[in-house]
Structure 1
């Protein structure tokens, strides 16, 4: 299992980055995912790849919920001890990557997850459906909508209108 997990780390890191949009946050998410994988007993009837991606997704969902609670606390100082936390923003230096990142970030989370797993990780629709626990048809329709939205956001006409 150690070697299999080691081989899976680059793909998990890319998936974590696609969810977070920040290398620092992606590394934190990857670390939390690996920690959870190593501290939990893997069910005997589960594929490590599917299980690891599902754990990564669930850890990210937990983090998003925690961030919402912290954000609500900062917006309502009476709920906190007066501490305000600033979010960390890291942008890429390459213009193309920054455009793709921006376009990806505008996608709804369900579409972003699917395009990351299918287009970036190269996973088959069936595996993605199992990881996200949705029907295969849902994966296909969300992927089609995500691709159309990215195509529109990255089209030359959109570039001219942004300038």
Structure 2
């Protein structure tokens, strides 16, 4: 499990958008995994199981925030913030991509993360998020379309001229 901590932390950061909350999510995930170790199916992937546990913990946290605040909906954008402004000058493009991805709705953002950062298949994403594979495909298509709409003008100019990158 120790080897998977960086991946868990990254996913926790994608979900929560705050370092201290990501650390809390990782800790809660590890505790729950140890408590329920008997539920792990031998021969399956431990990383997928842990990501599913973390996703479940995060959903439960959002639900409990809604109950505590007496609201019918908790907007993750409003409730949590992400400090991505400290990017170094040589990481400007990466910071722009991160900013655009963070601008996606939560469901699309976490689906993009699982697909493109963690490299999960559509079926594996569906299992982690407990949604149909078609929904995964739809979320990724919508995210791609939205990211293409907000692509910097410089990227469009290079693409339109046929220039390869």
Q: TM-score range, shorter-chain basis?
A: 0.7 to 0.9
2:25 alignment counterpart: 29
- Which of residues 123, 126, 130 is equivalent to 2:127? 130
Unaligned runs of 5+ in 1: 74-86, 158-163
1:117 alignment counterpart: 114
Structure 1 CA distance for aligned equivalents of residues 109 and 130 of structure 2: 15
2:83 alignment counterpart: 91
Distance 1:89 1:127, change over 3 A: closer
Structure 2 CA distance for aligned equivalents of residues 69 and 102 of structure 1: 30
Structure 1 CA distance for aligned equivalents of residues 137 and 81 of structure 2: 32
Q: Deviations over 1:5-28 (max 9, x none)?
A: 112211111111111111121111
- Which of residues 51, 56, 59 is equivalent to 1:58? 56
2:157 alignment counterpart: none
Unaligned runs of 5+ in 2: 72-78, 155-165
Distance 1:23 1:98, change over 3 A: farther
Distance 1:37 1:122, change over 3 A: same
1:10 alignment counterpart: 6
Distance 1:34 1:137, change over 3 A: same
8 Å contact kept, 2:16–2:80: no
Structure 1 CA distance for aligned equivalents of residues 94 and 29 of structure 2: 25
8 Å contact kept, 1:50–1:127: yes
8 Å contact kept, 2:33–2:50: yes
Tell me whether 1:141 sits opposite 2:138 in the alignment.
Answer: yes
8 Å contact kept, 2:18–2:81: yes
Aligned residues: 140
Distance 1:20 1:139, change over 3 A: same
